[in-house]
Amino acid sequence: MKKETKMGIKKKILLGWLAFEAISLCIALPAVAQIVDRIIFSTAPRAVHVVTSLAPGMTEIIVASDAPFIVLSEGAVGEMSLALTVSGTINGTAFGAQAQHPGKIQSCVMSTATLATVLYTATRKTATNKGAVIGQAVMIHIKYDPALAPKFVVKTLNQPEAKTAIPAVVCNSLNS
């Protein structure tokens, strides 16, 4: 004879609870998916840069950003010539394939104080598409009096240094 097995009360409660969880999960997943789609996950804006002094009076800054940014100069008073290149090569490595022009650049600005001075303000991010940082980068060329030794940094517009720096004067506006 076969022995009849009876399901105990604990097993019935456990199976009932598992069935309830399985049904609840099927109902909850679509709701959770809608919440995730509606929430915007964001990171703090960033601008990464490398400053390279090519020779006395010549500096290049390669910048990749996911937000508008500024280029600051400290420790020098005088005229500075600016230019921007969106794409090209650095020692055989291509840059700027996923970059855009970040905004109008003045060809000549005057730093009037040794304090942090804004030489350039980008109105857009450099990155247009996802990809390697070097592919999202642009190059800023700065020429200045070789006797000067300015320190250049790049900051996003939301950083405190960007809000407290003084603006450089456009060279043409000095004559008017």
**Banded model confidence at residue 110, pLDDT cuts 50, 70, 90:** very high
Q: Report the percentage of the chain scoring pLDDT > 90.
A: 59
Q: Is the pLDDT of residue 1 over 90?
A: no
* pLDDT (0 to 100) of residue 3: 59
Q: Which domains does the chain have, with CATH numbers?
A: 47-175 (2.60.40)
Instruction: Express each pLDDT in 125-158 by its tens digit.
Output: 999 988 899 999 999 999 999 999 999 999 999 8
> Pick from 72, 71, 66: which is nearest to 125 by CA?
66
pLDDT at 37: 59
Q: What is the pLDDT of residue 23?
A: 83
pLDDT score at 176: 43
CA pair distance 33, 66, nearest whole angstrom:
27
Is residue 95 pLDDT above 90, yes or no? Answer: yes
CA distance 65 to 47: 4
The answer to whether 61 and 54 are in contact (CB under 8 A) is: no
Q: Are strands 47-55 and 58-65 parallel, antiparallel or unpaired?
A: antiparallel
Q: Is 103 left (phi over 0), alpha (psi -120 to 50) or beta?
A: left
Q: Would you say how long the chain is, in residues? A: 176
pLDDT digits (tens, 9 = 90+) for 33-73: 666 556 666 678 889 999 999 899 999 999 999 999 999 99
pLDDT at 19: 85
Return the beta strands (E) in the chain as ranges: 47-55, 58-65, 69-74, 78-85, 88-90, 93-95, 108-111, 117-121, 137-144, 151-156, 166-167, 169-170
